[in-house]
């Protein structure tokens, strides 16, 4: 299980992050149960909307945006785009 923040993405409207689950079905089911216990009945609509916008922007413009980044930040962005590192 890995979380990745999206709040530094140009399109993210608010702070938010993605939860990536990899593993056995039992692990994913347990995570879903735990998340259900923590959810709210009054969600903030801008948070998931911002995550959707950020994902869409990375899908359509990600490579170009990395090239526009200052040279010192490109390696950070490329590593981030590659996904979580395994120990």
Span 48-67, pLDDT tens digits: 788 888 888 888 988 888 78
In this predicted structure, the answer to whether residue 15 has a pLDDT above a threshold of 70 is yes
Q: How confident is the model at residue 87 (pLDDT cuts 50, 70, 90)?
A: very low
At residue 35, the 3 state secondary structure works out as helix
Alpha helices by DSSP H, the chain: 25-38, 46-68, 71-82
> What value does the mean pLDDT take over residues 31-44?
77
pTM: predicted TM-score of the whole model, two decimal places: 0.51
In this predicted structure, the answer to whether residue 16 has a pLDDT above a threshold of 80 is no
Closest by CA to 21, choosing from 40, 7, 35, is 35
Q: What is the pLDDT of residue 76?
A: 59
């Amino acid at each position: 299980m890995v979380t990745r923040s999206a709040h530094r993405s140009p399109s993210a409207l608010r702070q938010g992050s993605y939860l990536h689950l990899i593993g056995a079905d039992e692990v994913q089911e347990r995570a879903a149960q735990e998340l259900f216990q923590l959810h709210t009945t009054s969600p903030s609509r801008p948070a998931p909307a911002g995550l959707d916008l950020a994902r869409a922007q990375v899908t359509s413009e990600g490579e170009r945006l990395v090239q526009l980044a200052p040279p010192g930040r490109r390696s950070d962005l490329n590593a981030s785009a590659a996904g979580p590192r395994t120990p």
